[in-house]
């Protein structure tokens, strides 16, 4: 005799995104910094992980400064996924509910 049972739980699938491409237009440029600064005060982004340019697990003004430094002086590119879309390789509490430019 087979007894039906219920299995409960959830499966989490990490969303692929491109770090620092916060306006999700496929390029990383000054437009992303403008959008990042605007969102800090005026919007609720769907992909917080893309805004975390320095990958410290937080989204704040330091991320804009980090990417501006790279754009203008080439100091340090953001951590992966930066070149192509992928899931975040480092655990943190930020979410990414969707990223339009991911394959
Ligand atoms: Ca962009
Ligand atoms: Ca950060
Ligand atoms: Ca991370």
What distance in Å separates the CA atoms of residue 5 and residue 76, rounded to the nearest whole number?
Answer: 53
**What is the predicted pLDDT for the residue at 56?**
97
In CATH, which superfamily holds the domain spanning 15-94? Dockerin domain (1.10.1330.10)
Global pTM value? 0.80
Extents of the domains making up the chain: 15-94
Task: Calculate how far, in angstroms, residue 84's C-alpha sits from the geometric centre of ligand 1.
Answer: 12
Is residue 5 scored above 80 in pLDDT? no
- Write the pLDDT tens digit of every residue in 35-74: 999 998 898 888 999 999 999 999 999 999 998 898 888 8
Task: Calculate how far, in angstroms, residue 60's C-alpha sits from the geometric centre of ligand 3.
Answer: 14
**CA 14, 20, 61, 67 torsion-angle sign:** positive
Is residue 11 scored above 90 in pLDDT? no
DSSP secondary structure letter of residue 17: B
Is residue 4 scored above 80 in pLDDT? no
**What is the predicted pLDDT for the residue at 2?**
56
**What is the predicted pLDDT for the residue at 7?**
65
**CA 54, 66, 51, 20 torsion-angle sign:** negative
Q: Where are the alpha helices (DSSP H) in 43-100?
A: 48-51, 61-73
Task: Calculate how far, in angstroms, residue 12's C-alpha sits from the geometric centre of ligand 2.
Answer: 23
- Write the pLDDT tens digit of every residue in 77-98: 899 999 999 999 999 999 999 8
- 34's enclosing H/E stretch is helix 30-42
33 and 25 Cβ atoms separated by less than 8 Å: no
* Helix/strand number for the chain, H first, E second: 3, 0
**What is the predicted pLDDT for the residue at 3?**
59
């Amino acid at each position: 005799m087979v007894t039906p049972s219920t299995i409960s739980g959830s499966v989490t699938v990490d969303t692929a995104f491109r770090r620092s491409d916060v306006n999700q237009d496929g390029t990383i440029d000054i437009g992303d910094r403008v959008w990042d600064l605007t969102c800090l005060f005026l919007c609720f982004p769907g992909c917080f992980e893309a805004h975390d340019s320095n990958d410290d697990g937080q989204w704040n003004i330091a991320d804009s400064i980090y990417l501006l430094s790279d754009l203008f002086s080439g100091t340090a590119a953001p951590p992966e996924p930066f070149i192509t879309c992928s899931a975040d390789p480092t655990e943190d509490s930020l979410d990414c509910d969707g990223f339009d430019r991911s394959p």
